[in-house]
Amino acid sequence: MSAIEQLGIPSLDLSDFLDGDASRKGKFVRNLGKAYEDVGFVSIKNHGFSDELREDLYSEVKNFFALQEDRKMKYERPELNGQRGYNSFGKEHAKGNDNPDLKEFWQFGQCVKDDNNLKKQYPKNVSVEELPQFNPIGMKTYKKLEDIGTYMLQAIALYLGLDEHFFDSKVKNGNSILRAIHYPPITNEPKDSVRAAEHEDINLITLLMGASAEGLEVLNKKGEWIPVTALPDSLVVNVGDMLQRLTNAKLKSTTHRVVNPPKEKWGSSRYSIPFFLHPQAEMDLTCLENCIDDEHPKQFTNMTAGEYLDERLAEIGLKA
């Protein structure tokens, strides 16, 4: 049993779903669904995201955050509600928590090439002139994780009794975000602020490659905070609020946070690069009928993904 499995987070092999026979594929679907009902997180291996691409991405991300402050600020676009480019330190906070998170971050968004109407909905990505490989490597990562996330959603659809490709058209050219996060060294007593206060993700699912340091913790059913570190060859994939809404909470959007390190490690930075897989804005998040019954009455109001995103961006301080 791997270290991550000992923490109660199942480790699954994506090749069982993609390359296996019907028996292996079915077992993957059942184990994934059970994990998402119980803990909301899984670790997957054999996903096709290479070590080389991960290392190249982290190198570029570290180079960007090492730029002088005035150079980074050239790439902040407040009018885009934090959805593209640079977001400076302390801008974001968790829902229901006014203390700012101790982080700065960069966001890559969707680049549509085959749908002019959708292309008009999305702002352009911001290019970093000092780092010619930053954007190409970021977008190569974006597309690879988008593909992996689509496979995961196909397995989820089967578990929910839907057509395997139920989500495909909804997430194609979706409003997904690749976020590169830098948690700088802590130089003053942080008081009530932490690197990322407890929260649930907004989107359908989140894919997270291994971070540069420990700090991520997941809240389990017993109310215990469990430390989680993605293994170098694995991706951690968790359920977001949109999928929880769609499934009437059959699949759980798990609370998690990034805690401050021990004081002796305050001088160290932490980097993390999650991929938030979003559908197109018009996707209907109305609870699926087969997830509602007498024992599980409908919990959520009808809403589109775009409406829900706008609501949540306002709650976390990125949109007025």
Q: Is the pTM of this model over 0.85?
A: yes
For Cα atoms 312, 317, 320, give the angle at the middle one, nearest 5 degrees.
Answer: 85
Q: Does domain 3-315 have CATH number 2.60.120.330?
A: yes
pLDDT digits (tens, 9 = 90+) for 103-129: 899 999 999 988 878 888 899 999 999
The single residue listed with the structure tokens 């092999």 is 13
The residue among 277 and 89 whose pLDDT is bigger is 277
Taking the domains of the chain in order of start, what are their residue ranges? 3-315
CA atoms within 13 A on the CB side of 147: 9
For the chain, give the percent of residues with pLDDT over 90: 61
Q: Report the chain's C-alpha Rg in angstroms.
A: 19
Instruction: Determine the distance from the C-alpha atom of residue 101 to the mean position of all C-alpha atoms in its chain, rounded to a whole number.
Output: 17
pLDDT beyond 80 at 75: yes
Position 244 scores a pLDDT of: 96
pLDDT digits (tens, 9 = 90+) for 208-263: 987 545 778 888 777 888 887 667 788 999 999 999 999 999 999 988 887 776 67
pLDDT digits (tens, 9 = 90+) for 154-190: 999 999 999 999 999 999 999 999 999 998 887 677 6
**Directed axis angle between helix 51-65 and helix 134-159, to 10°?**
130
pLDDT beyond 70 at 83: yes
For the chain, give the percent of residues with pLDDT over 70: 88
